[in-house]
Amino acid sequence: DGGITQSPKYLFRKEGQNVTLSCEQNLNHDAMYWYRQDPGQGLRLIYYSQIVNDFQKGDIAEGYSVSREKKESFPLTVTSAQKNPTAFYLCASSTGGFLYEQYFGPGTRLTVT
Amino acid sequence: AQSVSQHNHHVILSEAASLELGCNYSYGGTVNLFWYVQYPGQHLQLLLKYFSGDPLVKGIKGFEAEFIKSKFSFNLRKPSVQWSDTAEYFCAVNARRDSNYQLIWGAGTKLIIKP
C-alpha cells in the first residue's frame, strides 16, 4: 500500500532539545517537502528536496535542518534555535516539482515545553 | 509578497445547499491553482487543479472551480453538498518566489454540513 508515513504522531520535548521528525515514502517520488501548519494559517514551507542529496530552504527554514540521503526518506530536525517549535508538521512528496500533485502524510504534532 | 486569501474560515451549511468557497491570490504572473481537501481523520488530498485551458475545472466528488484571471480568483463550488463533504478545504497557488516556484497556501476553510 503506497503512501507517506510520518512518525511519531505526537511528540513532546523539553525546550533546548533537538528533535527529529521522520518522513518516509514508498511512492518512488523524487520530490519531498516539509510544511508547518499553525492554527488559522496556511501551510508554510520549511524545506524541500527535488532530488537525493539536494534540498532548498523554504520560507521558514530558520531553526530547522534536513537531510536527503535516500530517495524515500526526508527527516526534519527541529533544533533548539527554532524560537516557536510547537506546531503541526506535514511531510509531502510529488513526482516532480511544485506543479505536480503533492501527497501528504498524516502529520506530527510537536509540543515543546 | 505573494499571498492567498480564503475569506471564510468557517462555513456551516445544511445538506443539499449550494456551496461556494472563495479564494483570491496576489500574484501577477502565470499561476497554477489547486484546491486540496482534508476529511476528518484523513490526509490532505488533491481535489482539483487548474493549469491552463478551460477556466472551469472539475474535480472529484462533484466539485468544480472557476479561474477568473481578472479577479485573481479561483472559487470552489458544489451545487448540492452532502454530509460527507464536511472537511477543511485549502486553496494553493503555484507562483514564483525568488528564483523558484513554490506553492503558497491559503489558511483553509472549515466546512461543516448539518445532516
Q: What is the pLDDT along chain A (113 residues), one digit of tens a residue?
A: 669 999 999 999 999 999 999 999 999 999 999 999 998 888 999 999 999 999 999 989 999 999 999 999 999 999 999 999 999 999 999 998 888 899 999 999 999 99
pLDDT of residue A1: 60
Per-residue model confidence (pLDDT) at position B70: 93
Rg (CA), chain A: 13
Question: Please, which residues 5-34 of chain A have a Cβ atom closer than 8 Å to chain B?
Answer: none
Length in residues, chain B:
115
Which residue in the block uniquely carries the three cell numbers 501548519?
A37
Q: Do B44 and A104 touch (CB under 8 A)?
A: yes
Residues in chain B with CB shorter than 8 Å from the CB of A60 are none
pLDDT (tens, 9 = 90+) of chain B, 115 residues, equals 778 999 889 999 999 999 999 999 998 788 899 999 999 999 999 999 999 899 999 999 999 999 999 999 999 999 999 999 999 999 999 987 777 778 999 999 999 999 8
Cβ pair A90:B44 closer than 8 A: yes
| Preferred mutation among B103, B109, B110 to probe A, highest tally of A CBs within 10 A | B103
- Residues 6-65 in B contacting A (C-alpha not used; CB under 8 Å): 9, 32, 36, 43-46, 49, 51
Distance of alpha carbon A26 from alpha carbon A105, whole angstroms: 12
A42 vs B contacts (CB less than 8 Å): 4, 90, 92, 104-108
Please name the residue that has the C-alpha cell 533546548: A16
How many CB atoms are located within 10 Å of the residue A89 CB?
A: 22
Asked if residues A42 and B108 have their Cβ atoms less than 8 Å apart, the reply is yes
Cell 511531510 belongs to: A91
N-to-C CA span, chain B: 41
* pLDDT for the residue numbered A72: 97
Q: Is A45 close to B102, i.e. CB distance below 8 A? A: yes
How far apart CA B91 and CA B105 sit, in angstroms, is: 6
B101 touches chain A (CB under 8 A): yes
Phi, psi dihedral angles at A22 (to 5 degrees): -95, 145
Which of chain B's residues have a Cβ under 8 Å away from the Cβ of A43?
90, 92, 103, 105
Contact A42 B51 (CB under 8 A): no
